[in-house]
Structure 1
Amino acid sequence: MNTLPPLFLSHGSPMLALEPGATGEFVARLGPAIDRAFGRPKAVLAVSAHSTAREPVLLASARQHAVYDFGGFPDALYQLQYNPPGAPELAPRVAALLGEAGERAHVLDQGGLDHGIWSMLRFMYPEADIPVLPLAWMPHRPPAEQFAFGQALAALSDEGVLVMGSGSITHNLRRVFAQGRADVGAPEIPESRGFRDWFAERSAARDWPALWNYRRLAPSAADMHPTDEHLLPWFVAAGAGGEATAPLRLHEGVTYGCLGMDVYAFGPSASALAAAL
Protein backbone atom coordinates (compact mmCIF):
# COMPACT_ATOMS: atom_id res chain seq x y z
CA MET A 1 0.00 0.00 0.00
CA ASN A 2 1.24 3.49 -0.84
CA THR A 3 1.61 6.13 1.84
CA LEU A 4 -1.78 7.62 2.69
CA PRO A 5 -1.93 11.42 2.77
CA PRO A 6 -3.14 12.82 6.11
CA LEU A 7 -6.24 14.99 5.72
CA PHE A 8 -7.85 18.03 7.29
CA LEU A 9 -11.61 18.28 6.76
CA SER A 10 -13.72 21.32 7.63
CA HIS A 11 -16.93 19.91 9.06
CA GLY A 12 -18.87 23.15 9.54
CA SER A 13 -22.31 22.88 11.11
CA PRO A 14 -23.78 19.53 12.23
CA MET A 15 -26.52 20.24 9.66
CA LEU A 16 -24.02 19.23 6.98
CA ALA A 17 -25.05 15.64 7.73
CA LEU A 18 -28.58 16.43 6.49
CA GLU A 19 -27.74 19.17 3.99
CA PRO A 20 -24.47 18.07 2.37
CA GLY A 21 -24.12 20.87 -0.15
CA ALA A 22 -20.92 21.15 -2.16
CA THR A 23 -18.68 20.05 0.70
CA GLY A 24 -20.69 16.94 1.47
CA GLU A 25 -20.66 16.04 -2.22
CA PHE A 26 -16.90 16.51 -2.32
CA VAL A 27 -16.27 14.40 0.79
CA ALA A 28 -18.47 11.67 -0.70
CA ARG A 29 -16.01 11.51 -3.61
CA LEU A 30 -13.02 11.57 -1.29
CA GLY A 31 -13.39 8.08 0.17
CA PRO A 32 -13.61 6.33 -3.22
CA ALA A 33 -10.68 8.42 -4.48
CA ILE A 34 -8.55 7.27 -1.54
CA ASP A 35 -9.49 3.66 -2.25
CA ARG A 36 -8.58 3.98 -5.93
CA ALA A 37 -5.26 5.69 -5.35
CA PHE A 38 -3.99 3.91 -2.25
CA GLY A 39 -6.23 1.00 -1.37
CA ARG A 40 -8.77 0.95 1.40
CA PRO A 41 -7.42 2.27 4.72
CA LYS A 42 -6.98 -0.27 7.48
CA ALA A 43 -8.24 2.27 10.02
CA VAL A 44 -8.86 5.95 10.58
CA LEU A 45 -7.11 7.84 13.38
CA ALA A 46 -9.42 10.81 13.98
CA VAL A 47 -8.33 14.08 15.62
CA SER A 48 -11.36 16.34 16.00
CA ALA A 49 -11.94 19.84 17.37
CA HIS A 50 -14.66 18.37 19.60
CA SER A 51 -12.60 15.67 21.35
CA THR A 52 -9.95 17.29 23.54
CA ALA A 53 -8.13 16.48 26.78
CA ARG A 54 -5.24 17.60 28.97
CA GLU A 55 -3.13 14.65 27.75
CA PRO A 56 -3.57 12.38 24.71
CA VAL A 57 -6.44 9.91 25.10
CA LEU A 58 -7.22 7.05 22.70
CA LEU A 59 -10.84 5.88 22.70
CA ALA A 60 -10.15 2.24 21.95
CA SER A 61 -13.57 0.65 22.18
CA ALA A 62 -14.20 -2.37 19.96
CA ARG A 63 -17.30 -0.63 18.56
CA GLN A 64 -17.82 3.07 17.95
CA HIS A 65 -21.04 5.08 17.76
CA ALA A 66 -22.19 8.55 16.81
CA VAL A 67 -22.35 11.10 19.62
CA TYR A 68 -24.85 13.96 19.28
CA ASP A 69 -22.71 16.62 20.93
CA PHE A 70 -24.97 19.53 19.96
CA GLY A 71 -28.43 20.86 20.71
CA GLY A 72 -31.30 22.71 19.13
CA PHE A 73 -31.25 20.97 15.76
CA PRO A 74 -34.02 19.09 13.90
CA ASP A 75 -35.00 15.69 15.27
CA ALA A 76 -33.91 14.04 12.04
CA LEU A 77 -30.28 14.87 12.84
CA TYR A 78 -30.43 12.86 16.07
CA GLN A 79 -31.76 9.83 14.21
CA LEU A 80 -28.69 9.47 12.03
CA GLN A 81 -26.47 6.55 12.91
CA TYR A 82 -22.80 5.85 12.30
CA ASN A 83 -21.51 2.81 14.18
CA PRO A 84 -18.24 1.56 12.68
CA PRO A 85 -15.85 -0.91 14.32
CA GLY A 86 -13.35 0.52 16.73
CA ALA A 87 -9.62 -0.07 16.40
CA PRO A 88 -8.42 -1.28 19.81
CA GLU A 89 -5.54 -3.19 18.18
CA LEU A 90 -4.21 0.09 16.75
CA ALA A 91 -4.19 1.92 20.07
CA PRO A 92 -0.94 0.38 21.43
CA ARG A 93 0.88 1.32 18.23
CA VAL A 94 -0.32 4.93 18.41
CA ALA A 95 0.50 5.10 22.12
CA ALA A 96 4.00 3.77 21.41
CA LEU A 97 4.63 6.35 18.67
CA LEU A 98 3.50 9.13 20.97
CA GLY A 99 5.61 7.71 23.76
CA GLU A 100 8.70 7.89 21.56
CA ALA A 101 7.96 11.61 21.18
CA GLY A 102 7.66 12.10 24.93
CA GLU A 103 3.86 12.04 25.06
CA ARG A 104 2.04 9.90 27.61
CA ALA A 105 -1.06 8.56 25.90
CA HIS A 106 -3.96 7.08 27.85
CA VAL A 107 -5.89 4.18 26.32
CA LEU A 108 -9.52 3.81 27.35
CA ASP A 109 -11.89 0.97 26.58
CA GLN A 110 -14.52 3.52 25.66
CA GLY A 111 -15.92 4.84 22.40
CA GLY A 112 -17.84 7.67 20.81
CA LEU A 113 -17.43 9.70 17.64
CA ASP A 114 -18.18 13.41 17.98
CA HIS A 115 -19.96 15.09 15.08
CA GLY A 116 -16.70 16.37 13.61
CA ILE A 117 -15.77 12.73 13.01
CA TRP A 118 -18.96 10.90 12.11
CA SER A 119 -20.45 13.64 9.94
CA MET A 120 -17.40 13.42 7.67
CA LEU A 121 -16.97 9.64 7.69
CA ARG A 122 -20.65 9.18 6.99
CA PHE A 123 -20.02 10.66 3.54
CA MET A 124 -16.55 9.22 2.98
CA TYR A 125 -17.34 5.66 4.01
CA PRO A 126 -21.13 5.32 4.36
CA GLU A 127 -20.91 1.55 4.94
CA ALA A 128 -19.25 2.31 8.31
CA ASP A 129 -16.93 -0.65 7.76
CA ILE A 130 -13.53 0.96 8.41
CA PRO A 131 -12.31 0.87 12.05
CA VAL A 132 -12.04 4.28 13.72
CA LEU A 133 -9.80 5.30 16.62
CA PRO A 134 -10.50 8.78 18.04
CA LEU A 135 -7.51 10.56 19.56
CA ALA A 136 -8.36 13.29 22.03
CA TRP A 137 -5.66 15.96 21.83
CA MET A 138 -4.53 19.05 23.77
CA PRO A 139 -5.98 22.35 22.51
CA HIS A 140 -3.90 24.50 24.86
CA ARG A 141 -0.72 23.93 22.84
CA PRO A 142 0.33 26.39 20.09
CA PRO A 143 0.39 25.47 16.38
CA ALA A 144 4.10 24.56 16.22
CA GLU A 145 3.63 22.08 19.07
CA GLN A 146 0.53 20.66 17.39
CA PHE A 147 2.63 20.16 14.28
CA ALA A 148 5.28 18.31 16.30
CA PHE A 149 2.52 16.19 17.86
CA GLY A 150 1.40 15.25 14.35
CA GLN A 151 4.96 14.41 13.32
CA ALA A 152 4.95 11.69 15.95
CA LEU A 153 2.10 10.03 14.03
CA ALA A 154 3.74 10.16 10.60
CA ALA A 155 4.65 6.46 10.45
CA LEU A 156 0.97 5.52 10.51
CA SER A 157 0.53 6.79 6.96
CA ASP A 158 2.93 4.07 5.74
CA GLU A 159 0.97 1.46 7.65
CA GLY A 160 -2.40 1.92 5.98
CA VAL A 161 -3.86 4.26 8.60
CA LEU A 162 -5.62 7.43 7.48
CA VAL A 163 -4.78 10.31 9.83
CA MET A 164 -7.79 12.64 9.71
CA GLY A 165 -8.01 16.04 11.36
CA SER A 166 -11.48 17.59 11.55
CA GLY A 167 -12.30 21.21 12.35
CA SER A 168 -13.03 24.32 10.30
CA ILE A 169 -10.65 26.54 8.37
CA THR A 170 -12.67 29.54 9.67
CA HIS A 171 -15.01 29.34 12.66
CA ASN A 172 -16.80 32.21 14.39
CA LEU A 173 -20.31 31.30 15.52
CA ARG A 174 -21.05 34.86 16.60
CA ARG A 175 -20.63 35.85 12.97
CA VAL A 176 -22.98 33.04 11.90
CA PHE A 177 -25.81 34.53 13.95
CA ALA A 178 -24.84 38.19 13.45
CA GLN A 179 -28.14 38.94 11.65
CA GLY A 180 -30.20 37.13 14.26
CA ARG A 181 -30.51 33.89 12.32
CA ALA A 182 -28.21 31.49 10.51
CA ASP A 183 -28.34 31.60 6.71
CA VAL A 184 -26.46 28.67 5.18
CA GLY A 185 -26.28 30.39 1.80
CA ALA A 186 -25.12 33.81 3.00
CA PRO A 187 -22.37 35.35 0.85
CA GLU A 188 -18.89 35.01 2.26
CA ILE A 189 -17.72 37.94 4.33
CA PRO A 190 -14.39 39.52 3.30
CA GLU A 191 -12.70 38.52 6.55
CA SER A 192 -13.35 34.83 5.88
CA ARG A 193 -12.18 35.05 2.28
CA GLY A 194 -9.04 36.92 3.28
CA PHE A 195 -8.12 34.40 5.95
CA ARG A 196 -8.76 31.37 3.76
CA ASP A 197 -6.79 32.83 0.87
CA TRP A 198 -3.86 33.72 3.14
CA PHE A 199 -3.82 30.19 4.55
CA ALA A 200 -3.86 28.64 1.10
CA GLU A 201 -1.11 30.94 -0.17
CA ARG A 202 1.18 30.35 2.81
CA SER A 203 0.53 26.61 2.51
CA ALA A 204 1.45 26.56 -1.17
CA ALA A 205 4.68 28.39 -0.29
CA ARG A 206 5.46 25.94 2.55
CA ASP A 207 5.80 28.96 4.80
CA TRP A 208 5.64 27.00 8.02
CA PRO A 209 6.86 29.83 10.29
CA ALA A 210 4.04 32.07 9.04
CA LEU A 211 1.46 29.31 9.41
CA TRP A 212 2.61 28.51 12.93
CA ASN A 213 2.29 32.21 13.72
CA TYR A 214 -1.03 32.63 11.89
CA ARG A 215 -2.66 34.33 14.86
CA ARG A 216 -0.22 37.24 14.56
CA LEU A 217 0.25 37.30 10.79
CA ALA A 218 -2.95 36.17 9.09
CA PRO A 219 -5.63 38.75 8.25
CA SER A 220 -8.64 38.71 10.59
CA ALA A 221 -7.16 35.77 12.51
CA ALA A 222 -8.80 36.56 15.87
CA ASP A 223 -12.09 37.30 14.12
CA MET A 224 -12.13 34.05 12.18
CA HIS A 225 -10.91 32.04 15.16
CA PRO A 226 -11.89 33.67 18.48
CA THR A 227 -10.64 30.38 19.90
CA ASP A 228 -8.48 28.18 17.73
CA GLU A 229 -9.50 24.62 18.59
CA HIS A 230 -11.21 24.27 15.19
CA LEU A 231 -8.04 25.16 13.29
CA LEU A 232 -5.43 23.32 15.37
CA PRO A 233 -6.26 19.84 13.98
CA TRP A 234 -4.99 21.23 10.65
CA PHE A 235 -1.52 21.45 12.21
CA VAL A 236 -1.71 17.92 13.62
CA ALA A 237 -2.57 16.51 10.19
CA ALA A 238 0.07 18.73 8.57
CA GLY A 239 2.71 17.44 10.98
CA ALA A 240 1.80 13.87 10.10
CA GLY A 241 2.44 14.79 6.46
CA GLY A 242 5.78 16.46 7.17
CA GLU A 243 7.47 19.74 6.28
CA ALA A 244 8.96 18.72 2.94
CA THR A 245 5.76 18.87 0.88
CA ALA A 246 3.40 21.83 0.58
CA PRO A 247 -0.11 21.32 1.99
CA LEU A 248 -2.55 20.94 -0.88
CA ARG A 249 -6.03 22.44 -0.75
CA LEU A 250 -8.32 19.90 -2.39
CA HIS A 251 -11.61 21.74 -1.88
CA GLU A 252 -12.59 25.24 -0.87
CA GLY A 253 -15.91 26.75 0.07
CA VAL A 254 -17.94 28.43 2.77
CA THR A 255 -21.29 28.07 4.52
CA TYR A 256 -23.19 30.64 6.60
CA GLY A 257 -20.92 33.31 5.13
CA CYS A 258 -18.04 32.61 7.51
CA LEU A 259 -17.67 28.88 8.20
CA GLY A 260 -14.89 27.91 5.82
CA MET A 261 -15.24 24.39 4.44
CA ASP A 262 -11.77 23.87 2.98
CA VAL A 263 -10.23 20.41 2.76
CA TYR A 264 -6.45 19.86 2.74
CA ALA A 265 -4.18 16.89 2.09
CA PHE A 266 -0.60 16.64 3.31
CA GLY A 267 2.60 14.80 2.52
CA PRO A 268 4.13 13.44 -0.68
CA SER A 269 0.99 11.51 -1.67
CA ALA A 270 -1.35 14.52 -1.58
CA SER A 271 -0.96 15.18 -5.31
CA ALA A 272 -1.82 11.54 -6.13
CA LEU A 273 -5.06 11.93 -4.18
CA ALA A 274 -5.87 15.15 -6.02
CA ALA A 275 -5.34 13.35 -9.34
CA ALA A 276 -7.71 10.58 -8.29
CA LEU A 277 -10.60 12.91 -7.46
Structure 2
Amino acid sequence: MTLPTYFLSHGGGPWPWLRDQFGAAYDVLDASLRDIPRQVGGKPKAVLVVSSHWETEPFQLSSGTQPGMIYDYGGFPPHTYRIVYGAPGSPALAARAQALLQAAGIDAGLDAGRGFDHGTFSAMYPVFPEADVPIVQLSLRRNLDPQAHLAAGRALRPLRDEGVLIVGSGLSYHNLRAFNGAGAAASHQFDGWLRAAMALPPEERSIALTHWEQAPAARAAHPREEHLLPLMVALGAAEHEAAEVVYHEDTFFGALAVSSFRFGAGNR
Protein backbone atom coordinates (compact mmCIF):
# COMPACT_ATOMS: atom_id res chain seq x y z
CA MET A 1 0.00 0.00 0.00
CA THR A 2 1.32 3.41 -0.99
CA LEU A 3 0.64 6.02 1.66
CA PRO A 4 -0.35 9.58 0.79
CA THR A 5 1.67 12.57 1.91
CA TYR A 6 0.47 15.64 3.79
CA PHE A 7 1.16 19.30 4.25
CA LEU A 8 -0.35 20.28 7.59
CA SER A 9 -1.01 23.74 8.94
CA HIS A 10 0.02 22.96 12.50
CA GLY A 11 -1.55 25.81 14.43
CA GLY A 12 0.08 28.07 16.98
CA GLY A 13 2.44 26.96 19.74
CA PRO A 14 1.37 24.11 22.04
CA TRP A 15 -2.33 24.54 21.27
CA PRO A 16 -3.49 20.96 22.05
CA TRP A 17 -2.53 21.58 25.68
CA LEU A 18 -4.37 24.91 25.85
CA ARG A 19 -7.94 23.91 25.16
CA ASP A 20 -9.20 25.78 28.24
CA GLN A 21 -7.69 29.02 26.97
CA PHE A 22 -8.59 28.61 23.30
CA GLY A 23 -12.02 27.03 23.68
CA ALA A 24 -13.38 25.93 20.31
CA ALA A 25 -10.81 27.91 18.28
CA TYR A 26 -8.95 24.76 17.25
CA ASP A 27 -11.85 22.35 16.90
CA VAL A 28 -11.78 22.23 13.09
CA LEU A 29 -8.01 21.74 12.92
CA ASP A 30 -8.13 19.15 15.69
CA ALA A 31 -10.83 17.16 13.89
CA SER A 32 -8.87 17.22 10.63
CA LEU A 33 -5.75 15.89 12.32
CA ARG A 34 -7.62 13.18 14.21
CA ASP A 35 -9.07 11.95 10.91
CA ILE A 36 -5.67 11.20 9.36
CA PRO A 37 -5.38 7.60 10.67
CA ARG A 38 -8.71 6.82 9.03
CA GLN A 39 -7.55 8.37 5.77
CA VAL A 40 -4.34 6.33 5.68
CA GLY A 41 -5.97 3.09 6.83
CA GLY A 42 -4.57 2.94 10.35
CA LYS A 43 -1.22 3.63 11.90
CA PRO A 44 1.80 3.76 9.62
CA LYS A 45 5.06 2.04 10.51
CA ALA A 46 6.65 5.45 11.08
CA VAL A 47 6.29 9.13 10.25
CA LEU A 48 8.82 11.42 8.61
CA VAL A 49 7.99 15.00 9.63
CA VAL A 50 9.51 17.87 7.68
CA SER A 51 9.85 20.51 10.37
CA SER A 52 9.43 24.22 9.67
CA HIS A 53 11.22 24.85 12.96
CA TRP A 54 14.56 23.27 12.09
CA GLU A 55 16.93 24.74 9.52
CA THR A 56 20.36 23.31 8.75
CA GLU A 57 22.93 23.12 5.99
CA PRO A 58 22.81 20.49 4.60
CA PHE A 59 19.59 18.60 5.37
CA GLN A 60 19.63 16.76 8.69
CA LEU A 61 17.55 13.87 10.02
CA SER A 62 16.86 13.23 13.68
CA SER A 63 18.32 9.81 14.42
CA GLY A 64 17.98 9.31 18.16
CA THR A 65 16.03 6.43 19.65
CA GLN A 66 14.09 8.54 22.16
CA PRO A 67 14.00 12.20 21.11
CA GLY A 68 13.66 14.84 23.80
CA MET A 69 11.49 17.95 23.73
CA ILE A 70 12.23 21.40 22.31
CA TYR A 71 9.93 24.12 23.65
CA ASP A 72 10.52 26.58 20.83
CA TYR A 73 7.88 29.12 21.80
CA GLY A 74 7.46 31.86 24.36
CA GLY A 75 4.83 33.43 26.55
CA PHE A 76 2.75 30.33 27.21
CA PRO A 77 1.67 28.92 30.61
CA PRO A 78 4.26 27.01 32.69
CA HIS A 79 2.71 23.60 32.07
CA THR A 80 3.42 23.91 28.34
CA TYR A 81 7.14 23.77 29.12
CA ARG A 82 6.69 20.38 30.76
CA ILE A 83 4.89 18.68 27.86
CA VAL A 84 6.26 15.27 26.99
CA TYR A 85 5.31 13.64 23.72
CA GLY A 86 7.07 10.34 24.12
CA ALA A 87 7.02 8.91 20.61
CA PRO A 88 10.14 6.90 19.82
CA GLY A 89 12.59 7.85 17.12
CA SER A 90 13.77 5.49 14.41
CA PRO A 91 17.50 5.38 13.65
CA ALA A 92 16.74 2.88 10.89
CA LEU A 93 14.31 5.24 9.14
CA ALA A 94 16.73 8.14 9.53
CA ALA A 95 19.48 6.10 7.89
CA ARG A 96 17.14 4.94 5.11
CA ALA A 97 16.03 8.50 4.37
CA GLN A 98 19.63 9.69 4.41
CA ALA A 99 20.57 6.96 1.93
CA LEU A 100 17.73 7.92 -0.41
CA LEU A 101 18.71 11.58 -0.34
CA GLN A 102 22.37 10.82 -0.90
CA ALA A 103 21.55 8.46 -3.78
CA ALA A 104 19.82 11.41 -5.43
CA GLY A 105 22.92 13.57 -4.96
CA ILE A 106 21.46 15.45 -1.98
CA ASP A 107 23.73 15.85 1.02
CA ALA A 108 22.12 14.89 4.34
CA GLY A 109 23.40 14.22 7.84
CA LEU A 110 22.16 12.54 10.99
CA ASP A 111 21.57 14.28 14.32
CA ALA A 112 21.05 11.86 17.21
CA GLY A 113 20.47 14.69 19.68
CA ARG A 114 17.64 16.51 17.94
CA GLY A 115 14.38 16.54 19.89
CA PHE A 116 10.78 17.14 18.84
CA ASP A 117 9.92 20.79 18.22
CA HIS A 118 6.37 22.07 18.53
CA GLY A 119 5.77 21.84 14.80
CA THR A 120 6.10 18.11 15.29
CA PHE A 121 4.60 17.37 18.68
CA SER A 122 1.66 19.80 18.42
CA ALA A 123 0.72 18.37 15.02
CA MET A 124 1.33 14.71 15.85
CA TYR A 125 -0.37 14.59 19.25
CA PRO A 126 -3.92 14.83 17.82
CA VAL A 127 -3.02 12.30 15.09
CA PHE A 128 -1.33 9.75 17.34
CA PRO A 129 -2.24 10.72 20.93
CA GLU A 130 -0.74 7.51 22.33
CA ALA A 131 2.67 8.52 20.96
CA ASP A 132 3.23 4.97 19.76
CA VAL A 133 4.34 5.65 16.17
CA PRO A 134 8.07 6.25 15.57
CA ILE A 135 8.87 9.73 14.27
CA VAL A 136 11.91 11.08 12.45
CA GLN A 137 12.26 14.78 11.71
CA LEU A 138 13.80 16.16 8.53
CA SER A 139 15.14 19.70 8.64
CA LEU A 140 14.75 22.38 6.04
CA ARG A 141 17.81 23.44 4.12
CA ARG A 142 18.85 26.83 5.38
CA ASN A 143 18.76 28.45 1.92
CA LEU A 144 15.00 27.70 1.71
CA ASP A 145 15.26 26.93 -2.00
CA PRO A 146 11.91 25.53 -3.21
CA GLN A 147 13.57 23.40 -5.90
CA ALA A 148 15.91 21.78 -3.37
CA HIS A 149 12.98 20.79 -1.16
CA LEU A 150 10.95 19.53 -4.10
CA ALA A 151 13.95 17.40 -5.10
CA ALA A 152 14.23 16.06 -1.55
CA GLY A 153 10.60 14.99 -1.69
CA ARG A 154 11.17 13.21 -4.99
CA ALA A 155 14.11 11.32 -3.49
CA LEU A 156 12.08 10.26 -0.45
CA ARG A 157 9.12 8.97 -2.44
CA PRO A 158 10.03 5.24 -1.97
CA LEU A 159 9.32 5.61 1.75
CA ARG A 160 5.62 5.77 0.94
CA ASP A 161 5.76 2.14 -0.23
CA GLU A 162 7.55 1.15 2.97
CA GLY A 163 4.85 2.17 5.41
CA VAL A 164 6.23 5.64 6.16
CA LEU A 165 3.89 8.62 6.29
CA ILE A 166 5.57 11.78 4.98
CA VAL A 167 4.24 14.95 6.63
CA GLY A 168 5.25 18.52 5.95
CA SER A 169 4.45 20.56 9.06
CA GLY A 170 4.10 24.31 8.64
CA LEU A 171 1.37 26.88 8.08
CA SER A 172 -0.19 28.04 4.83
CA TYR A 173 -0.17 31.58 6.28
CA HIS A 174 2.62 32.68 8.60
CA ASN A 175 3.02 36.38 9.23
CA LEU A 176 3.18 36.71 13.00
CA ARG A 177 3.07 40.52 12.80
CA ALA A 178 -0.36 40.26 11.18
CA PHE A 179 -1.76 37.13 12.78
CA ASN A 180 -5.15 38.76 13.21
CA GLY A 181 -7.55 40.87 11.22
CA ALA A 182 -4.67 42.88 9.79
CA GLY A 183 -3.58 39.80 7.86
CA ALA A 184 -7.02 38.73 6.70
CA ALA A 185 -6.87 40.08 3.15
CA ALA A 186 -3.40 38.72 2.46
CA SER A 187 -4.19 35.31 3.93
CA HIS A 188 -7.35 34.97 1.83
CA GLN A 189 -5.62 36.07 -1.36
CA PHE A 190 -2.70 33.71 -0.89
CA ASP A 191 -4.80 30.80 0.31
CA GLY A 192 -7.11 31.17 -2.66
CA TRP A 193 -4.14 31.05 -5.01
CA LEU A 194 -2.65 28.08 -3.15
CA ARG A 195 -5.83 26.01 -3.35
CA ALA A 196 -6.19 26.86 -7.05
CA ALA A 197 -2.58 25.86 -7.68
CA MET A 198 -3.24 22.47 -6.11
CA ALA A 199 -5.85 21.77 -8.79
CA LEU A 200 -3.45 22.37 -11.69
CA PRO A 201 -2.01 19.49 -13.75
CA PRO A 202 1.04 18.06 -11.95
CA GLU A 203 3.78 19.73 -14.00
CA GLU A 204 2.05 23.10 -13.89
CA ARG A 205 1.44 22.68 -10.16
CA SER A 206 5.11 22.08 -9.42
CA ILE A 207 6.15 25.09 -11.48
CA ALA A 208 3.56 27.32 -9.80
CA LEU A 209 4.56 26.29 -6.31
CA THR A 210 8.28 26.69 -6.88
CA HIS A 211 7.48 30.22 -8.09
CA TRP A 212 5.17 30.88 -5.15
CA GLU A 213 6.62 34.37 -4.64
CA GLN A 214 4.69 35.46 -7.73
CA ALA A 215 1.38 34.60 -6.07
CA PRO A 216 -0.99 37.32 -4.84
CA ALA A 217 0.06 38.63 -1.42
CA ALA A 218 2.87 36.05 -1.29
CA ARG A 219 5.30 38.01 0.86
CA ALA A 220 2.52 39.46 2.98
CA ALA A 221 1.49 35.87 3.78
CA HIS A 222 5.05 34.59 4.17
CA PRO A 223 7.58 37.33 4.96
CA ARG A 224 9.94 34.40 5.44
CA GLU A 225 8.98 31.11 3.81
CA GLU A 226 10.09 28.49 6.34
CA HIS A 227 6.48 27.57 7.16
CA LEU A 228 5.66 27.04 3.47
CA LEU A 229 8.72 24.99 2.44
CA PRO A 230 7.58 21.69 4.06
CA LEU A 231 4.84 21.74 1.43
CA MET A 232 7.48 21.33 -1.28
CA VAL A 233 8.77 18.09 0.23
CA ALA A 234 5.28 16.63 0.62
CA LEU A 235 4.50 17.61 -2.97
CA GLY A 236 7.75 16.21 -4.36
CA ALA A 237 7.09 12.82 -2.78
CA ALA A 238 3.71 12.61 -4.57
CA GLU A 239 4.32 14.94 -7.47
CA HIS A 240 2.08 13.31 -10.04
CA GLU A 241 -0.85 12.60 -7.75
CA ALA A 242 -3.95 14.58 -6.99
CA ALA A 243 -4.12 17.03 -4.13
CA GLU A 244 -7.09 17.37 -1.82
CA VAL A 245 -7.88 20.02 0.76
CA VAL A 246 -8.20 18.17 4.08
CA TYR A 247 -8.51 21.23 6.30
CA HIS A 248 -9.62 24.77 5.58
CA GLU A 249 -10.81 27.68 7.67
CA ASP A 250 -11.66 31.23 6.65
CA THR A 251 -11.76 32.55 10.21
CA PHE A 252 -8.68 31.05 11.89
CA PHE A 253 -7.77 33.37 14.77
CA GLY A 254 -10.90 35.27 13.85
CA ALA A 255 -10.02 36.30 10.32
CA LEU A 256 -7.30 34.23 8.62
CA ALA A 257 -7.60 31.70 5.80
CA VAL A 258 -5.51 28.56 6.35
CA SER A 259 -5.43 25.14 4.68
CA SER A 260 -3.86 21.68 4.80
CA PHE A 261 -3.47 19.30 1.87
CA ARG A 262 -3.16 15.60 1.16
CA PHE A 263 -1.32 14.30 -1.91
CA GLY A 264 -2.34 10.88 -3.13
CA ALA A 265 -5.42 8.83 -2.41
CA GLY A 266 -6.74 8.29 1.08
CA ASN A 267 -9.83 6.55 2.42
CA ARG A 268 -12.87 8.73 1.77
TM-score (norm 1): 0.87
1:213 to 211, 214, 222: 211
Distance 1:62 1:265, change over 3 A: same
* SS, match of residue 50 in structure 1: strand
Q: CA deviation at 1:40?
A: 2.0
Structure 1 residue 21: Cα displacement: 2.6
Distance 1:76 1:261 in 2: 27
Contact 2:62 2:137 in 1 (8 A): yes
Q: Does 1:192 align with 2:192?
A: no
Residues 97/258 of structure 1: CA separation in 2 closer, same or farther (3 Å cut): farther
Give the unaligned 5+ runs of structure 2.
20-25
Cα 1:84–1:260, aligned 2, differ >3 Å: closer, same or farther?
Answer: farther
Shift of 1:187: 9.3
Is 1:24–2:27 an aligned residue pair? no
User: Would the alpha carbon gap of residues 129 and 259 (structure 1) be closer, same or farther in structure 2, given more than 3 Å must change?
Assistant: farther
- Rounded Cα–Cα distance in structure 1 between residues aligned with 2:167 and 2:8: 7
**Superposition deviation, residue 191 in structure 1:** 1.6
1:211 counterpart letter in structure 2? L
Residues in 2 aligned to 1:96 and 1:211: alpha-carbon distance in whole angstroms:
26
Q: 1:227 aligns with which of 224, 233, 238?
A: 224
Q: Is the 8 A contact 1:205 1:246 kept in 2?
A: no
Paired letter, 1:231: L
Once residues 99 and 134 of structure 2 are traced to their aligned partners in structure 1, the CA distance between those partners, rounded to angstroms, is: 19
Q: Secondary structure at the match of 2:246?
A: strand
Task: Report the alpha carbon displacement of residue 79 of structure 1 after superposing the two structures with TM.
Answer: 3.0
Q: Map of 1:27-66 to 2, 5 A cutoff?
A: 27-34=33-40, 37=41, 39-66=42-69
- The 1:155–1:193 alpha-carbon spacing in structure 2 relative to 1, beyond 3 Å, is same
Q: Number of residues paired by the alignment?
A: 257
Q: What are structure 1's unaligned runs of at least 5 residues?
A: 177-182
In the alignment, the residues of structure 1 paired with residue 11 and residue 142 of structure 2 have an alpha-carbon distance, to the nearest angstrom, of 18
Q: Are 1:237 and 2:234 counterparts?
A: yes
Contact preservation (8 Å) 2:248, 2:257: yes
Q: CA deviation at 1:237?
A: 0.6
In structure 1, the partner of 2:176 is 173
2:63–2:95: 8 Å Cα contact kept in structure 1?
Answer: no
Alignment of 1:1-150 (within 5 A): 2-17=1-16, 18-19=18-19, 20-34=26-40, 37=41, 39-150=42-153
Match for 2:208: what amino acid? A
Say which SS state the counterpart of residue 46 (structure 1) adopts: strand
Higher strand residue share: 2
Q: Is the 8 A contact 2:47 2:133 kept in 1?
A: yes
Matched-pair contact (CA < 8 Å) for 1:63–1:85 = yes
Q: How far apart, in 2, do the equivalents of 1:111 and 1:56 lie? A: 13
**Is the contact made by 2:59 and 2:107 (CA closer than 8 Å) also made in structure 1?**
yes
Match of 2:245 in 1: 249
Change (3 A) 1:259 1:87: farther
Following superposition, the deviation at residue 104 of structure 1 comes to: 2.0
Displacement of 1:136 in angstroms is: 1.4
Distance 1:84 1:230 in 2: 23
CA positional deviation for 1:255: 2.3
Give the aligned residue type for 2:34.
A
> Once the 2 structures are TM-superposed, how far is the Cα of residue 232 of structure 1 from its aligned partner?
0.6
C-alpha contact 1:169 1:259 (8 A) present in aligned 2 = no
Higher alpha-carbon deviation: 5-14 or 152-161: 5-14
Alpha-carbon distance, 1:234 to partner:
0.4
CA distance in 2, matches of 1:86, 1:111: 10
**C-alpha deviation, 1:171, in angstroms:** 0.6
CA contact (8 A) 2:140 2:229 kept: no
- What is the distance in 2 between the residues matched to 1:138 and 1:166? 15
Give the deviation of 1:221 after TM superposition: 0.4
